[in-house]
Structure 1
Amino acid sequence: MPAAPQRFRAIVDVHVLLLRGTSDVLLARRAGTGYGDGLWHLPSGHLEEGESVTDAVIREAAEEVGVTIDPADLTFTHVMHRVPDRVGLFFATRTWTGEPYNAEPHKCSELAWWPMDDLPPDTIGYPAAAIANTLDRIPFALDGWSTNP
Structure 2
Amino acid sequence: MTGLISVAGAAVVDSLENPKRLLVAKRSAPPQFAGMWEFPGGKLEAGESFEDALHRELLEELGVTVRLGAEVEPQAGTGWPLNERAVMRVWFAELLDGAPRPLQDHDELRWVPLGNGDEASTLPWIPADLPIVQALLERVASGLLG
TM-score range, shorter chain: 0.7 to 0.9
Residues 14-33 of structure 1 deviation map (CA, whole Å, 9 limit, x = unaligned): 10011026331111111133
Residue of structure 1 in register with 2:99 after alignment: 99
Residue of structure 1 in register with 2:131 after alignment: 129
Residue of structure 2 in register with 1:8 after alignment: 2
For residues 32 and 86 of structure 1, the distance between their equivalents in structure 2, rounded to whole angstroms, comes to 18
- Offset of 1:68 from its aligned partner? 1.0
Q: TM-score normalized by structure 2?
A: 0.76
1:115 correspondence with 2:113: yes
Identity between Structure 1 and Structure 2 (%): 26
For residues 89 and 136 of structure 1, the distance between their equivalents in structure 2, rounded to whole angstroms, comes to 17
Residues 79-120 of structure 1 deviation map (CA, whole Å, 9 limit, x = unaligned): 31344222210001224211111122xx21111111243224
For residues 92 and 83 of structure 1, the distance between their equivalents in structure 2, rounded to whole angstroms, comes to 22
Structure with greater proportional helix content: 2
1:66 correspondence with 2:63: yes
1:20 correspondence with 2:14: yes
Question: What's the secondary structure of 2:101's corresponding residue?
Answer: coil
For residues 32 and 97 of structure 2, the distance between their equivalents in structure 1, rounded to whole angstroms, comes to 29
For residues 96 and 124 of structure 1, the distance between their equivalents in structure 2, rounded to whole angstroms, comes to 27
Question: What's the secondary structure of 2:65's corresponding residue?
Answer: coil
Question: What's the secondary structure of 1:57's corresponding residue?
Answer: helix
For residues 21 and 129 of structure 2, the distance between their equivalents in structure 1, rounded to whole angstroms, comes to 15
Residues 108-147 of structure 1 deviation map (CA, whole Å, 9 limit, x = unaligned): 111111124322431212223202102223xxxxxxxxxx
For residues 124 and 110 of structure 1, the distance between their equivalents in structure 2, rounded to whole angstroms, comes to 15
Question: What's the secondary structure of 1:103's corresponding residue?
Answer: coil
Gaps of 5+ in 2: 75-79, 140-146
Question: What's the secondary structure of 1:37's corresponding residue?
Answer: coil
Residue of structure 2 in register with 1:33 after alignment: 30
- RMSD, aligned α-carbons: 2.0
Larger radius of gyration: 1
Letter in 1 for 2:48: E
